Structure 1
Amino acid sequence: MSRIKQLFQTTRFKRGTYSSGLTVLVLAIAIVFNLVVQQLPENLTTIDLTENGLYTLGDQTKEILGNLDEDITIYHVVQSGNELEMITKILNQYAALSGRIKVKQLDPVVNPVQLKEYDASNLSENSLIVESGKRFKTVSYSDIVEVDYSDYYTYGSDPYYSFDGEGEITSAIDYVMTDDLPKMYIVTGHGEQSLPYALTSSLEKNNIETEDLTLIAQDAVPEDCDVLAVMAPSTDYTEEEIGLIRSYLEQGGKLLAVCNYTENDMANLYGLLSEYGLDIGQGIVMELGKNNYTQHPVYLLPELASQQITTPIVNENMLVLTPYALPMTVQEELREGLTVENLLTTTTDSFASADYDLQKTEKGSEDAQGPFTVGAAVTNETENGTAQLVVYSTFYPFLSDYLQITPANADLFVNSVSWMCGQKSTVEIYAKSIGTTSNTVPAATTNFWTIIFVAALPAGILAAGFAVWIRRRRK
């Protein structure tokens, strides 16, 4: 018995007891820590290691979520087991950032009746339905995961995949929370330019409805028109049509006017713009300022002023490309109540080339000297309200090819409409590339690290362990 008591009193036993107790304590702490971590929101327990931050929500989304005053339910339309991981992860981020966001799974096979209530029976799997007490909006999977086949058909390269989860979800949340949705009427009938898909989708993402309007068939501009858009007509409007636009502005209306070069006389339209302090001249603007054009002097990189429309672009250090602009100038004397703000301007080194063939890039004796206004915002205070106009002297920035080169051009267009609609900000969240990049490691480097991790490091650990064992044996 005394021998057993001696065993319990040995140094080895005491050390063993201490080690065992310490091990149990560490395990208990680890278990408690894991239980606590499991209760934390996912945005606090996960790190987005994707190259483009696929699951990281931006400041604009956080601001919108922070201002929610009503509960929103996001239904993930998918059968159990078919969930796309990237969609599940970003939905969890939304739910973690706001207690107002509830994420629920809606199985289209189990609950076809509920799906039909949203007129969404044809939605593909991994689509979403965002709903508030006001309205709902569906977001299709094809809008969340975008596939661009242009390079595939042109060069035979792989399609380009992008993830627009944040942009589409945030836009849908903003849509279902907005009390009154703005509407823009686009005037047709005079060879106007059509808006490319990139612009219509950007307007839709900002929850601005659009509708064509044949002005000559109307007695007045519709009462629900928040913005009237004139998109680079090739022929002039009649006096009657201009009269309708003028009356609309006198009642506090909003006009987006985009001009473009045409061989036809545009006296009526340009005369209306002149009433609001802007004169459209003859020729095509060329820029000789060192940092204010690219490739050719007609490809203008104008200077951006600080105004609500342009400030977001300036803050992101983005450029706006405005090719083939007409020379527009602001009148020196403006009537009382009329204010004109320059948005885009050329430098004093610019000139308006009277040579429409654009063969010469030097100022001629008949060419008007700059600077010129390429874009302007006009405000006119009247007894009946505040009229606003945004005028650009070229439509080229808003063509598909130039929108791909400079995405800020699309922001400029949407910001212009949003400013006149009274929106404080626009949803400017770009899709993120899902593409992967490979990292090529030289063979010599591969061999070096193979030796380190496969041979040297294990051998070092074994040697250290053997040394500790020898030292303890000697004690």
Structure 2
Amino acid sequence: MKDTLKKISNRLKTRPTSSWSSMHQSLQTTNARQGASRSGVTLLVLAIVVVVNLIVGQLPQTINTIDLSEEQVTEVSQTSKDLLDGLDDTIVLKVFADQTTTDTAIKSFLEKYAATSSHLSIEWIDPVLHPSVLTDYSAEENSVVVENESTEDYEVISFSSIVSTGYDSSYNTVTTFDGDGQLTSAVNRLTKQNEHTIYLSAGHGEETLVSSITTLFDKANYTTAELNTVTTAEMPNDMDLLLIYGPTTDFTEDEITNLETYIAAGGKVMVVLSAEDADTPNLSAFMKAYGLAETSGYIADAERSYQGQSYYLIPNMTGTDVYLDNLSSQTVLLINTKGFTQEDPTIENATVTPLLQTSENGYNVTDDEQTQGTYTLGAVVTQTINTDEDDENTSDSETTSSDTQASDTDEESAAVEGKLTILSSTNLVAEDVTSAFSTLENNTVFMNMITANFDDVENISIEAKTLSSNMNTVTNPGGYSVLFILIIPLAVLVTGFVIWFRRRRA
């Protein structure tokens, strides 16, 4: 009995030592060392991630936020950057709002905008803590005051103007973000002295400018006024551009003569034909004299059209310089429009430059025939007149070489350039088109045509960006639609059936 108890006692004494020894040996294995190493690396990486997050969280929003939205809503456009690069005055963005509760998109954009130029700064002022600022600037809570400290002028922009909700032509709710356009237009007005007056012709059943264009006019600091060319013989002295927008009745011969005289003196005229089939023979003869003959039928294009609909044209952009400013895709949609063929101008010193054209597979479609060709949908005609030509003919033939050079310089400075811009239809800026296809650049093209008439300005009118999903515009799907709608799905089905059948037989 004693021997048995002694054996049990010896076993109990040796068991912990054996257990500890075996555990120690197991920790010395390769797998254990690798596991410990991996755990250490994991803990180290987690620690680094936490530290990096803490550091990044303290960075300004201009650095630690990336806009992944389709239209880059909170990014500053190149148009704004170009304007802000040339700033000489000091501009302050005073935001009357609680920074902690302000909409993230607005806050992010304001911070990025202020960081674009060293002449720009941002100041957040809580109107609850400082209510007097609202009275000082006649502003409301949740608004931005853009102030030029050099001139002490300022403009107030409400948050509701930056993020607004409306309805499209189909009564669908559309939310837009207009921070870029609102701020840049305000800065432009506060720093630029160049203002232009656009007169809209009246007396011929003209169409009303759509609200999207009048908004862009306001952003560009363009003033509009009405001019009845039927009752007015002389053009106003402050008129920088005469816009004839969608006339449905004809001009008189006297009006046409006044228009030609005005252009020859360096005036600028833009004619946008009505979307209706208006009977305006005098106006058509006027445009033909400048080298653009209006077609008798509507224009179709078998090559450049939307979804194979031949009368929904996506014309080629053939203009240069200012006419292509701010265009990324150069995609515009023009529906149910007439066109022009180019002829030799009967107006002296007139040069035609096409801006919008169909492909070679364009057609002038009438009830009787279809005529293939390349048709112009928009163009600018430049008329250069040298006002010193008569003086040159009567000048003394005995002129020294130096006098001749001086005379040539004077003649160049005395030359005037009139412009006639022609667009085939008001449908280019129809709101039911531009709102349905937000990726199109119709309004930008229209504003470029307007701006090209002014030598001292650029098109800084920036459209609001939609927060809704956009639709892609395919020029002419043709065989692609058959490929993706029929051939590929059918090939997938056949392949699946073959695989299933083989496996079943096996």
Q: State TM-score, norm by structure 2.
A: 0.68
Deviation for aligned residue 1:258? 0.8
User: Quick one: distance in 2 between partners of 1:377 and 1:207?
Assistant: 23
Indicate the SS of the match to 1:97: coil
**Is the CA contact 1:260–1:326 (under 8 Å) kept in the aligned structure 2?**
no
1:295, CA displacement in angstroms?
A: 4.1
Deviations 1:327-378 (A, max 9, x none): 31221356653211111112333232222xxxxxxxx55x544221111011
Does structure 2 retain, via aligned residues, the 8 Å contact 1:198–1:403?
A: no
Which of 140, 146, 166 aligns to 2:158? It is 140
- 2-side partners of 1:422 and 1:207: how far apart? 15
Q: 1:112 to 1:220 in 2, by over 3 A?
A: farther
Instruction: Tell me which of 352, 356, 360 is aligned to 1:344.
Output: 356
Matches within 5 A, 1:244-283: 244-260=258-274, 265-283=279-297
2:375 aligned residue (372, 382, 385) = 372
Query: Could you say what secondary structure the match of 1:48 adopts?
Result: coil
Question: 2:193 and 2:105 mapped to 1: Cα distance?
Answer: 31
Structure with larger Rg: 2
Aligned counterpart, 1:188 = 202
RMSD: 3.4
1:110, 1:217 → 2: CA distance? 58
Kept in 1: contact 2:319–2:356 (CA 8 A): no
Listed one character per residue, the Cα deviations across residues 109-154 of structure 1 (whole Å, up to 9, x for unaligned) are 7777765565x45x4x322222224543332322200212459x95
Structure 1 170/332 Cα, relative in aligned 2: closer, same or farther at 3 Å? same
Q: How many angstroms apart in 2 are the aligned matches of 1:433 and 1:264?
A: 35
Deviation at 1:205, TM superposition (A): 2.4
Among candidates 187, 200, 204, match of residue 173 of structure 1: 187
Against the structure 1 CA distance between its residues 270 and 432, is the aligned structure 2 distance closer, same or farther, given a 3 Å change threshold? closer
| Counterpart in the other structure of 2:427 | 396
**Structure 1 residue 323 corresponds to structure 2 residue 335:** yes
Following the alignment from structure 2 to structure 1, what is the Cα–Cα distance between the partners of residues 175 and 294? Answer: 43
Letter in 2 for 1:129: V
Match of 1:91? 110
Note the residue ranges of structure 1 that are not aligned, 5 or more in a row.
1-25, 356-363, 437-475
**Letter of the structure 1 residue corresponding to residue 199 of structure 2:** Y
- The answer to whether 1:420 aligns with 2:453 is yes
SS of the residue aligned with 2:304?
coil
Asked if structure 1 preserves the Cα contact closer than 8 Å seen for 2:76 and 2:112, the reply is yes
Q: In the alignment, which residue of structure 1 is the partner of 2:300? A: 286
- Check 1:238–1:418 CA distance in 2 against 1; reply closer, same or farther (3 A cut): same
CA drift at 1:318: 3.5
Q: 8 Å contact 2:207–2:274 — kept in the other structure?
A: no
Match of 1:308 in 2: 321
Q: Would you say the 8 A contact 1:137–1:175 is kept in 2?
A: no
Runs of 4+ in 1 over 6 A off after TM superposition: 109-113
The answer on whether the counterparts of 2:275 and 2:427 sit within 8 Å (CA) in structure 1 is no
Which residue identity lines up with residue 338 of structure 2 in the other structure?
L
Q: Which runs of 5+ in 2 are unaligned?
A: 1-46, 388-415, 470-506
Question: Which position in structure 1 is the counterpart of 2:143?
Answer: 127
- Count how many residue pairs are aligned between Structure 1 and Structure 2: 388
Partner of 1:442: none
Q: Which amino acid aligns with 2:356?
A: L
In structure 2, distance between residues paired with 1:185 and 1:107? 43
Q: Which amino acid in 1 is paired with 2:380?
A: A
Deviation, structure 1 residue 422: 2.6
**1:383 maps to what in 2?**
386
| Aligned partners of 1:273 and 1:279 also within 8 Å | yes
Q: 2:342·2:376 contact (CA, 8 Å) conserved in 1?
A: yes
